[in-house]
Structure 1
Amino acid sequence: MANADQKITLASSRDIPFNKLTLSQSNVRRIKSGVSIEELAASIARRGLIQSLHVRPQLDGEGKETGLFEVPAGGRRYRALELLVKQKRLNKTAPVPCVISEISDDILIDEVSLAENIERAPLHPLDQFRAFLAMREKGMSVEEIAAAFFVSAKVVKQRLRLTAVAPALLESYAEDELTLEQLMAFTISEDHDRQQQVWDALRNSWNKEPYQIRRLLTENAVKASDRRARFIGLDAYVEAGGVIVRDLFEEDDGGWIEDVPLLERLVTEKMKAEAEAIAAEGWKWIELSIDFPYGHTSGLRRLIGKALALSEAEQREQVGLQDELSELESHYAQIDELPEEVDTRLGAIEAALEAFEHRPVQFDEADIKRAGVFISIRHDGQLFVDRGYVRPEDEDLAEPNSIDEMSALKTPEAVGSATGGMGEGLLETEEEEDGIKPLPERLLVELTAHRTLALRDALANNPEIAMTALLHKLVRDSFLPYPATGALEASVRQVHFPVQADDLKESPVATSVEERHERWGDHIPADEAALWDWLGELDDRDRLALLAHCVSFGVNALHEKPNPYGGSGISGQGLEARLREADRLARASGLNMVAAGWRPTVQNYLGRVTKARILQAVREGVGDRDAERIAHLKKSEMADEAERLLADSGWLPEPLRMNGDDIEVIETDEIDTEPKADDDEDHPVAAE
């Protein structure tokens, strides 16, 4: 008969005075981690010793028990008790609950210490959340919970924020179907149905990154950093009953505004109130928009107002600010990073000086009555009022000054003068009984064709007149509100952008074009006849400069989706020809997009492409090494770090390069996405 398996016997436990305990040198924990000894001592003082120490009898040189016990497992608890004794908060003979293991040659003391530390499973975040939630429901505040467990209040708020996640998603997380990062991404919305809808859509998708979850959950919301939100102020939105959704786990730039209709209503009300105050100035019309597209003033004449003079006090203030600015810039010229207070002061000085440069202007009362104003919101949320634009239909028309002048126009002499010598024929026609019938249509075409051909020949043989005629037509198209009709079939069709980036209007290039247009517009006569004479008086250098400016409005280097079926739109061949011609113009004119002020940023490129595209950009711009260093980062962190790395690299994406300037691309799978150790301290890892 086989012997039954011998049953195991658990070690006994009893209380041992603290002064009979000593820390074993076989304890495997050497490096501090987790809660500090001080925090653990505070926890024991609050809750008592929750977990017993594991001890063994200490032997002397002859193998006999000394009456003392060594602690191989529970060293941190022992040190915390030791600290309480030193602080005289615990008696040195206080009994300590201990589990006593028998001395056995089969089990090394090191093995006991290692097992006690390795076999301990950390608390699952979901269990931690449920525990925090239970304590809050029993009356503990967030701060009390944080203090009790030696974590920050933010950690407690983050865990409690998981209550916003649908229970079904919490269960999926418990079953390891979601990662903690994915679960946290769902907390930006409290709509459980929408959360489940998004997860169902992404469950089998290749792209389940947290940023994609956040994007889908907030696609109908507006960022708190949006110009509309800045314009009305978040406090006004909240006071009106609006809700702001925050992401406690990621940098959210102020959060998201959920009630977009409320936001739009508040913006409209505030803009209308501002418009009413401006309308009181006497303007004929006012147009309101959150943002006007580039070129919206095309075809309108801009009034040139007179800037209001500075008072003596304002002049002194302006001079003082300029002196202070020069002194600060000189003092900190050799410092790479300015102190925060100095940087803030410099910004305030520059803003004040800019306000002096953009002083309110005074317009003639008669001009105000026929002109209008565009009111919009700048990117920083400030109201932008652009006064003084005259529409073509509101331009002054030449009218007779009196009834006598009206009568004079009806005389035969006046008619003959006004018709260029054909008045007599017309009068004779009216005086004939039967009347001379009009010339046949075909004959008219034939005759005017002769005249047209002769005029072409005459113009071709007189380049100076041809230049003036071309400039006359182009300037009319670019500056004056008259219909672009006439004898010369030449024109520039100004190309407007159907889609444009937020920063286009404020870019250095747009500013340069606008300033050049205003400089010419200040001198160009409004009268068409006077314009001809004015152009004739320009020297060749100015004529060429004006010609180049007018022709530039016809440049079109835009990408456009080809229409493969013909009809409206551009063909694939037409698009290739357009871009090829754009390259030719760029090379001939020496265009450099970097010198023109374009830099890759999160907003204009890096935040709108895939991680593979970001890594490709960094690899091309600054090299493989920096690409490897950021490969392990999250998408948002990678984009931010790439913006810093590429800021002064001169790198451009393919659409901004010219043909033949392509950079050799290395496949992204050649980069190891795991972080690597590196002893070179000149390039710190981005996450650090």
Structure 2
Amino acid sequence: MTQLPILVPAANLAKSPSNVRTVGDPVADAQLEANIAVKGVRQNLIGVPVSRKKGHYRIIAGGRRLDAVHRLIEKGVFDADYQLAVLVLGNAKDAIETSLEENFFNLTMNPADTCRAFQDIIESEKKTPEDVAKRFGLTERFVRSRLRLADLADPIFEALRNGEITLNVAVAYASNSDRTKQAEVFELLKDGYYRANVNEIKRQLVEDTYVGSDPKALLVGRDAYIEAGGRVDLDLFTDSTTERWIDGDLLNRLVADKLAAAAEALREREGLAEVRIIPSTHVTYNDTWDLRPLKGDTPELTAEQQARLEEIEAEIEAANEAWEDADEDGQTEQANRVEMLEAEYRAIEKPAPVLSEEQKAGALAYVVIGHDGQPRLHEQLYVAPVDEPDDEESGDQVEGEDDDDDDDDDVVAAPGKPAYSQRLSQELAEMKSELLRVHIASDPRFALDLGTFWMVDKATRHSGGFDLATELKADKPYSGLTGYQSGTLAAEEWGKIDEGLDRSWTEGGDVCQRYDAFCALPDEVRAAWLAWAIARTLHAVVAGKTGEAMIDHLGTKLEIDVAAWWRPTANNYFDRVSKAAILTHIEEIGGKELSSRYGGSKKHDLATSAEKIFGGTVPIEAELREAALAWVPDVMRFGTPVTAPEAVPANDESVTDAGDDLQQAA
């Protein structure tokens, strides 16, 4: 017959010396007590009778619950006669074994189950995170963190449930509430070297996101960002300065629009030839490396300014004398005064250069974002570049220009083609080489043949080899673009290839052990390393320079579809070429009828419209859209430039309607 528990007053119960648990956990005990205070004790205790003391029992299983009840009675939460259900053992000799069974086979809940349990309580019982925290003796922050885990992207949550990732890794993914971004980063890292690196996971998740105090966020404003469809990652512990704005692409577009408007206003007010926007707080060397600084005339000091300098010198001397006789607070006051006087002295002594109206009319300026989020004109002006006419049109050589070809020319141009700055030429060459690297790295057999040829061909020459556009060693070649990141699809794909390489052999010890570990890898793993090593040696070759023929030949053999991998945007192309060049490109796909509709557009607006046209993001006539999506500038093509796509006939309806749609979308 099965024995049933009996009700016994808590005052008649005490923990047995036979209880095997001797080390406690104050935090866990407090959580248990909080839960019992709300729900009571729902499990019976197990005890043995106390000899010569009828109705009293020693508890061998459930001692923590009993201690919690005793504390609650002392605090007045439970009455003094509070009773507990006790299953009484008939044989006291089983006490230690029973206590061990109670504690040894205890299994901690899977964090995934805890997350869903909290979520179910809140949804089914209409409770708040604060209610759940009180019931289980937890902090509200802990409960909310577990609820965020319950909203993880499905692949990540299942990995947590199956023990494939740790709780710390799951928490790192939960630091960003964008489930799509979570899934993308998880897919990128799950099989790579950084799959369990919490810092790398968080770094990947916050790419293209911004905190509310970022100058870009301050420039656009929270209301405008949200009104445009932007999302904000909020939790209980963030404020307007620490909250994270998830949709970085949207914020960057809003920033570009505001800076463009500010740039146009500044250009008109100051009478400048051109004002470019930099969506950052400063102008880098890479932005201006092919520009010539504009130097103004330093004005002579007026009599009033000279007199003020003498006054400041006297005031500084007096302040220094006062400092010697002052107390600590007075010394601080005098030191601050001296600092302000010295700053005023420097400002008067070295006035800002003054530019003539003629200089301004030929000047290029930059608009950046101040740390307070306000657009500001960068203090340094530059000589605005101008497109040089073709030799056939001008008939004259520009004064000071050398007849000979020079690898350091500032522009890359061909008859009838747009002129590219040295910076843009290098960037286009980098992006073109990225396409080639990705395709080489994705085709190990091709890479093996190519790599072997590169090595033996150079080895059999006494000198030379520059026309191979590569290095004999698998070193990454030098690039003149410091800190440059293209952000292209090919760059993302290269990152995935790099992350997917098996790096286990790098932990093998000394060089011989690492070599043996590498040789023990499967053929396909070693082949992937070979393809990666060969691909990364590829040089970026500017159009018209030595090695271009080899670059184009390889891209042709790999049948790279440039248009599918790279699209021209305002940032990487259209903002970097002249307005006339953009109109020419539009004419190539839609004829003069379409290009003429944009002739009156401002440069920035035209670049934005061109990005949408050639990105296929506006509703336009099917033939026109197909031609736009297939177009890339000749400098980005592999092999002999192809004939431009045939312009869509300029009938009265199709081109006209398409142009109207494009202008409206822009």
Range of TM-score over shorter length: 0.3 to 0.5
Q: TM-score, normalised by structure 2?
A: 0.47
Tell me the TM-score normalised to structure 1 length: 0.46
Q: Which has the higher contact order (CA 8 A, sep 6+)?
A: 2
